[in-house]
């Protein structure tokens, strides 16, 4: 089993390039099924979730080839409407093929993705949206079946602005006759990227990035070339890495507008952030101070940055309060941070953090993707050696994390059973 060995205490300095967005790439990859053509995707990050989605597409009959950060996906011979349980369980986001399959074949059978470490993650909002479009949806033995009944555009209101449900409904509606109006939609930048991709393929969608999206169904889509947006959560993780190590890091391929709430919070606690348009410079200081955070749907503070910020708040003087409103079980990193000396109390969905200057190196385990990132950040700051285990979670969502950190001067090695790399 691989682990990271980190010897903390080095201030990160230098330049880092941010990869393309995982959460933009995944729905766009699913959407390639809708074109029955060849699609070229540029800027796709090299990470495990992308490999899983590539395998999902292959299982459905597509040809997927990678050359560096370019994916060439040919869905002309795709012919299956079924995603079996062993595949859908590998990754929550595999459920995004359901909207694409319904769009192309008007039928789908997708095994339920199940829960995960951070919460139960139901599919009710996705299914409600498909029903509103006129699909008969049934659930049997862990499989969600969809079949066209009386298709037509509709008004649909999401009870909560779910990212995945917004994307799935947008995809299904793009090839459904009539006009669909999706209200209380999620507003994430990844949804705008999906809209741009679908429109380039010939769809007629307006409003992504706002809370009402209007989709005029078309009868056919075609292949295109598209470059995915930069990964705002990877960028945010490197911003926190600069802050927690009191470093000075220049970040490129970053869209500051996509992480305004994080930038505001980092500035509030005393981190210097400046930009010349294409670069963002982040400088940490000794004199950072505490702040409170509440995770919210975009443009609020992203739940995917909550664990990393908690690692930072553990090292700044004063008391910080973190409220997690998106996922019911997203404090798994707290137990591990405590092993490193962090003083954190949990009361329901609220964490109370008493910052202390020093963390101590320890052996810790990543319970999920962003929890793993938080532990790496804490390890970069801690005195002594930190071993972060269960790296498969980090591999799901970070493109060569330890290599990028090494280039910034971090003392971090990846150790495998066969040695380090
Ligand atoms: C996406 C992101 C994930 C991020 C999350 C919230 C991808 C691939 N993943 O996940 O990194 O943490 O947005 O920003 O883009 N919910 C329901 N019923 C549903 C759907 C969702 O109750 O049918 C609930 C979930 O349980 C959760 C909340 O809504 O509590 C947010 O989930 P959602 O926005 O759907 O997240 P994902 O799309 O799964």
- With a Cβ cut-off of 6 Å, ligand 1 is lined by 23, 26, 92-93, 119, 121-126, 160, 162-165, 186, 190, 303-304, 326-327
Query: Which three-class secondary structure state does DSSP give residue 114?
Result: coil
> Residue 116: phi, psi to the nearest 5?
-155, 180
Query: What is the pLDDT averaged over residues 169-177?
Result: 97
pLDDT in tens, 198-233: 999 999 999 999 999 999 999 999 999 999 999 999
CA distance 133 to 153: 6
Query: Which three-class secondary structure state does DSSP give residue 29?
Result: helix
Nearest CA to ligand 1 atom 8: 23
Partnered with residue 213 across adjacent β-strands are 182
Q: What is the 3-state secondary structure (H, E, C) of 177-215?
A: CCEEEEECCCCCHHHHHHHHHHHHCCCEEECECECEEEE
Residue 261 has pLDDT above 70, yes or no: yes
CB 10 within 8 A of CB 382: no
- Closest approach atom of ligand 1 to CA 297: 14
Tell how strand 225-227 and strand 248-252 pair up.
unpaired
Token output for 207? 């409003």
pLDDT in tens, 126-145: 999 999 999 999 999 889 99
**Residue from 42, 116, 141, 403 carrying the catalytic annotation:** 116
> Residue 381: left if φ>0, alpha if ψ -120 to 50, beta else—which one?
alpha
pLDDT in tens, 381-419: 999 999 999 999 999 999 999 999 999 999 999 998 665
Cβ atoms < 10 Å from Cβ of 300:
14
pTM higher than 0.95 for the full model?
Answer: yes
Query: What is the pLDDT averaged over residues 264-289?
Result: 92
Nearest to 123 by CA among 162, 153, 85: 162
Is position 42 annotated as part of the catalytic site? no
- Closest approach atom of ligand 1 to CA 126: 23
Cα of 185 vs centre of ligand 1, distance in Å, is 12
pLDDT (0 to 100) of residue 118: 66
Q: What is the 3-state secondary structure (H, E, C) of 10-26?
A: CCCEEEEECCECHHHHH
Query: What is the pLDDT averaged over residues 147-152?
Result: 92
Cβ atoms < 10 Å from Cβ of 24:
29
Nearest CA to ligand 1 atom 22: 122
CB 174 within 8 A of CB 218: yes
Q: Which of 44, 131, 164 to mutate to test the pocket of ligand 1 (most atoms within 8 A of CB)?
A: 164
CA dist 384 → 247, 310, 334, 355, 359 (Å): 18, 20, 20, 19, 9
Residue 101 has pLDDT above 90, yes or no: yes
């Amino acid at each position: 089993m691989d682990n990271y060995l980190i010897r903390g205490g080095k201030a990160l300095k230098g330049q880092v390039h941010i990869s393309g967005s995982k959460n933009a790439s995944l729905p766009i990859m699913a959407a390639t099924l809708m074109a029955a053509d060849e699609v070229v995707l540029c800027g796709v990050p090299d990470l495990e979730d992308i490999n899983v989605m590539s395998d999902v597409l292959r299982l459905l009959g597509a040809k997927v080839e990678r050359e560096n950060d370019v994916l060439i996906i040919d869905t002309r011979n795709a012919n299956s409407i079924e995603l079996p349980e062993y595949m859908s369980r590998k990754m929550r986001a595999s459920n995004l093929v359901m909207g694409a399959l319904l769009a192309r074949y008007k039928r789908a059978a997708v095994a339920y993705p199940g829960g995960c470490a951070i919460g139960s993650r139901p599919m009710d909002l996705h299914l409600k949206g498909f029903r509103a479009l006129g699909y008969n949806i049934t659930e049997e033995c862990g499989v969600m079946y969809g079949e066209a009944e009386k298709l037509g555009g509709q008004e649909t209101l999401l009870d909560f602005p779910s990212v995945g449900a917004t994307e799935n409904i947008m995809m299904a509606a793009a090839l459904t006759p009539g006009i669909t109006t999706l209200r209380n939609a999620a507003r994430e930048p990844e949804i705008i990227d999906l809209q741009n991709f679908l429109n380039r393929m010939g769809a007629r969608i307006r409003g992504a990035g706002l809370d009402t999206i209007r989709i005029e169904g078309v009868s056919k889509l075609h292949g295109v070339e598209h470059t995915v947006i930069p990964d705002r959560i990877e960028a945010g993780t490197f911003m926190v890495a600069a802050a927690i190590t009191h470093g000075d890091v220049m970040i490129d391929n970053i869209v500051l507008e996509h992480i305004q709430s994080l930038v505001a919070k980092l500035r509030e606690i005393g981190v210097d952030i400046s930009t010349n348009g294409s670069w963002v410079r982040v400088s940490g200081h000794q004199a950072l101070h505490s702040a409170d955070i509440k995770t919210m749907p975009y443009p609020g503070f992203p739940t995917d940055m909550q664990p990393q910020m908690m690692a930072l708040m553990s090292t700044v003087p004063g008391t910080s309060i973190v409220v997690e409103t998106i996922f019911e079980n997203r404090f798994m990193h707290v137990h591990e941070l405590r092993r490193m000396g962090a003083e954190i109390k949990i009361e329901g969905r609220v964490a109370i953090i008493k910052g202390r200057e020093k963390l101590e190196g320890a052996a810790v385990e990543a319970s999920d993707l962003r929890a793993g990132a938080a532990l790496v950040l804490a390890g970069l700051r801690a005195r002594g050696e930190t071993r972060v285990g269960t790296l498969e979670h980090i591999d799901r969502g970070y493109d060569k994390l330890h290599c990028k950190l090494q280039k910034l001067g971090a003392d971090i090695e990846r150790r495998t059973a066969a040695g380090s790399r």
